[in-house]
Chains A and B, each alone.
Chain A
Amino acid sequence: MVSVTNPIDDHEHHHGPAKGWMRWIVTTNHKDIGTLYLVFALAMLFVGGMFALTIRAELFRPGLQLVDPEFFNSLTTMHALIMVFGAVMPAFVGFANWMIPMMIGAPDMALPRMNNMSFWVLVFAGLLLLSTFFMEGGAPAAGWTLYPPLSIQGAHNIPFVVFSVHLLGISSIMGSINIIVTILNMRAPGMTLMKMPLFVWTWLITAFLLISVLPVFAAAVTMLLTDAHFGTSFFNAAGGGDPVLYQHLFWFFGHPEVYIIVLPSFGLVSTIVPTFSRKHLFGYSSMVYATGSIAFLSMIVWAHHQFTVGMPLAGELFFMYATLLIAVPTGVKVFNWIATMWQGSITLETPMLFSVGFIFLFTLGGFTGLMVAMAPADLQYHDSYFVVAHFHYTLVVGGTFPVFAATYYWLPKWTGHMYDENLAKLHFWLSFIGFNLTFMPQHFLGLAGMPRRIPDYAIQFADFNMMSSIGAFILGLSQLIFVYNIIKTIRSGDPVSDEVWEGAENMGLEWNLPSPPPYHTFQTPPDAYLIDKVTATEVTMR
Chain B
Amino acid sequence: MKRLQQLLAGIVLSGLGTVVHADYTLNMPVGVTELSRETYGLHMMVIYICAAIGLVVFGAMFYSIYAFRKEKHPVPATFHENSKIEILWTIIPFLILIAMVYPATDLTIKHYDTENAEMTIKITGYQWRWRYDYVDEGFGFMSSLKADSNAARQIDSGISPRKVHNYLQAVDHPLVIPVNTKIRFLMTSADVIHAWWVPEFGWKRDAIPGFITDAWASIDKVGIYHGACAELCGRDHGFMPIVVDVRSKEDYQAWLAEKKLILEQDNAQADRVWSKNELMVKGKDIYLSACAGCHQPNGEGIKGSFPAIKASPVATGDKDSHIELVLEGKGAMTGFAEALSPVELAAVITYQRNAFENNSGDLVQPAKIKEWLEDLGYDE
Contact = CB atoms under 8 A, between A and B. Distances in A.
Interface of A: 62-65, 67-70, 73, 136-138, 141-143, 147, 149-150, 153-154, 236-238, 242-244, 277-286, 308-310, 313, 316-317, 320-321, 324-325, 327-328, 331-332, 334-336, 338-348, 356, 359-360, 363-364, 367, 370-371, 374-377, 379-380, 382-384, 436-437, 440-441, 443-444, 447-449, 451-460, 463-464, 467, 536, 539-540
Interface in B219-259: 226-239
Given A309-B213, A377-B46, A463-B6, A69 B73 contact: no
B211 A237 contact: yes
B165 to A, nearest CB: 10
Given A367-B50, A379-B203, A154 B230 contact: no
Contact of B57 (A147, A363, A456): A363
B80 A143 contact: no
Interface extent on B, as a size class? 35 or more
A457 B192 contact: no
Contact of A451 (B58, B94, B167, B228): B228
B155 A64 contact: yes
Interface string B202-222: 111110111101100000000
Given A371-B43, A380-B28, A237 B238 contact: no
B94 A328 contact: yes
B305 interface: yes
Interface string B155-175: 101001110001111000000
Nearest to A278: B76
Nearest to A366: B50
Contacts of B112: 313, 316
Given A342-B64, A370-B49, A376-B203, 9 more contacts: A142-B232, A286-B90, A332-B86, A359-B61, A367-B54, A377-B42, A384-B230, A458-B169, A463-B3
B17 interface: yes
Contacts of A376: 35, 38-39, 42, 104, 107-108, 110-111, 203
B74 A345 contact: yes
B361 interface: no
A449 B234 contact: no
A70 B235 contact: yes
A310 B64 contact: no
Contacts of A443: 19
A456 B199 contact: no
B95 to A, nearest CB: 10
Contacts of B86: 283, 286, 332, 336
B157 to A, nearest CB: 8
B60 A382 contact: no
A138 B304 contact: yes
Interface stretch (B7-15, B267-275, B283-291, B345-353): B7-15
Contacts of B27: 444, 447-448
Nearest first, the 6 A-B pairs at minimum CB distance are A237-B210, A454-B238, A310-B213, A379-B203, A367-B50, A343-B77
A332 B90 contact: yes
Given A65-B155, A374-B100, A456 B26 contact: no
A378 to B, nearest CB: 9
A524 B226 CA distance: 70
Contacts of B130: none
B89 A331 contact: yes
A309 B204 CA distance: 9
Interface in B39-64: 39, 42-43, 46-47, 49-50, 53-54, 57-58, 60-61, 64
A239 to B, nearest CB: 9
B194 to A, nearest CB: 10
9 contacts: A69-B238, A142-B234, A243-B210, A283-B82, A308-B206, A313-B108, A347-B69, A380-B43, A539-B78
A150 B234 contact: yes
B193 A320 contact: no
B77 A279 contact: yes
A336 B57 CA distance: 11
Contact of A360 (B58, B73, B100, B197): B58
B81 A540 contact: yes
A142 B192 CA distance: 10
B305 A154 contact: yes
A161 to B, nearest CB: 16
B108 A320 contact: yes
Contacts of B344: none
B92 to A, nearest CB: 9
Contact of B160 (A63, A70, A342, A360): A63
A380 B204 contact: yes
Contacts of B61: 338, 341, 356, 359-360
B43 A73 contact: no
Contacts of B7: 463, 467
A32 to B, nearest CB: 35
A540 B50 CA distance: 34
Contacts of A444: 10, 13, 19, 24-27
A308 B197 CA distance: 10
B1 interface: no
A227 to B, nearest CB: 13
B335 interface: no
A345 B73 contact: yes
Given A149-B192, A356-B61, A69 B235 contact: yes
A383 B26 contact: no
A346 B65 contact: yes
Contacts of A324: 97, 100-101
B154 interface: yes
Contacts of A379: 39, 111, 202-205
Interface in B340-378: none
Contacts of A359: 61
Given A68-B302, A328-B97, A383 B195 contact: yes
B297 interface: no
B86 to A, nearest CB: 5
Contact of A536 (B80, B94, B210): B80
Contact of A62 (B77, B161, B302): B161
Contacts of B79: 282, 343
B153 A332 contact: no
B93 interface: yes
B75 to A, nearest CB: 7
B139 interface: no
B162 A338 contact: no
Interface string B306-337: 00000000000000000000000001100000
Contact of B14 (A325, A328, A382, A440): A440
A33 to B, nearest CB: 34
A73 B197 CA distance: 20
A236 B78 CA distance: 61
Nearest to A382: B204
B153 A63 contact: yes
Contacts of B154: 64
Given A308-B206, A379-B203, A447-B27, A454 B81 contact: no
A477 B357 CA distance: 49
B133 interface: no
A467 B49 CA distance: 28
Nearest to A241: B210
B161 A63 contact: yes
A384 B198 CA distance: 12
Contacts of A63: 152-153, 157, 160-161
A331 B234 CA distance: 39
Contacts of B3: 463
Contacts of B60: 338, 342
B93 A282 contact: no
Contact of A364 (B17, B153, B203): B17
A136 to B, nearest CB: 5
A310 B94 contact: no
Contacts of B231: 383
Contacts of B230: 308, 382-384, 451-452
Contacts of A308: 195, 203-206, 230
Contact of B332 (A136, A153, A360, A459): A153
